[in-house]
Structures are given as C-alpha cells and as structure tokens.
Structure 1
C-alpha cells in the first residue's frame, strides 16, 4: 500500500488519467503478484503486464503516480516494483 500522505488528493482531476489506461478492464491479477509467486511464473506475469503498458496512452502518468506515491507492489507505468526501486536509488 502506498503512503497515502503522498497521494495527490481526492479531486477527480488528479485521477482522470486512469480513465484512459490500457489496463482499465484487465483486472489486477495481471499487475500484482500473488503471495509466493517466484521465478518463471512471475517473470511471465510481469511480461504480460508490461505488454499492456507498452501500448498505454497514459503510461507516463501511471509511472509518475507510482513514483510519487511510492507504490511498493505491482507493475505501474511498465515497471515492476524492483525496477521502480532501482530507479529511485539511482536518482537520489
């Protein structure tokens, strides 16, 4: 769960980008790993999520949200939690 103090607020304009997201009707199972998922199974799920993100018109908005809110789970904006963590480390 993200740090809710980092979320942009409840005003609709902060979340409008989600209406155009390619994942809108895909469901969370593609983007968030179940407990204990490892190895090839996880790599395959992450790759499938990234394929959805690759064609998403709001990919940048999604990634910016994930970085700002410090989302710790799931694929957001085409990056896994590990990739986002690495990105934060190299940018600090």
Structure 2
C-alpha cells in the first residue's frame, strides 16, 4: 500500500471519509470526501484496494460504500438459474 503516501487524503481528517448517516452533515462530508478524491493521483489504486480487499465503510477512491456494493454486484458473473443447457 505504498500508494497511500501519495494519497490526497493523507493530510485530511479521516472522519471526513467515514460520514455517519444519510442526510445533513453526512451528505456534506460525503461531497467533501469525493472532492478530495477527485484530485487524487492514486484514486484508482485506492478504489481497487477497497473493491479487492473489501473495506466496507467509508469513501475509497471517491466511491462510498453503497456505490462500491453496486459496482461489485454488477461485476459478478450472472448465473442463469432455471435455464437448461442445450443437450
């Protein structure tokens, strides 16, 4: 995780990236965290880390946990349940 040294968030308050709630101050913190990540040179590595190892809380690579869950869900192969294969 050498990339962490170059992260734009290195000098920020960590609590900014772990907003509590879904309204008011949490939305402001989420927007501020995404803004920091938007100018980060290692945001891709950060997001890849979060998607691969699965930290569930917080904003990683500019993507909050709910959005990462959606990304992971969409990237999983779909199995056709109930569909028969040709014989």
TM-score relative to the length of structure 1:
0.78
Which is bigger in relative contact order (C-alpha 8 A, separation at least 6)? Answer: 1
Unaligned runs of 5+ in 2: 77-87
> Is structure 2 residue 57 aligned with structure 1 residue 59?
no
Find runs of 4+ consecutive structure 1 residues off by over 3 angstroms. Answer: none
> Which has the greater radius of gyration?
2
> Corresponding residue for 1:23?
9
Q: Deviations over 1:50-90 (max 9, x none)?
A: 00000000000000000011110000000000000010011
TM-score normalized by structure 2? Answer: 0.82
Cα offset, 1:41, TM superposition: 2.0
Q: What is residue 76 of structure 1 aligned with on the other side?
A: 60
Q: Deviations over 1:23-47 (max 9, x none)?
A: 001021110124xx23132211100
CA root-mean-square deviation: 0.9
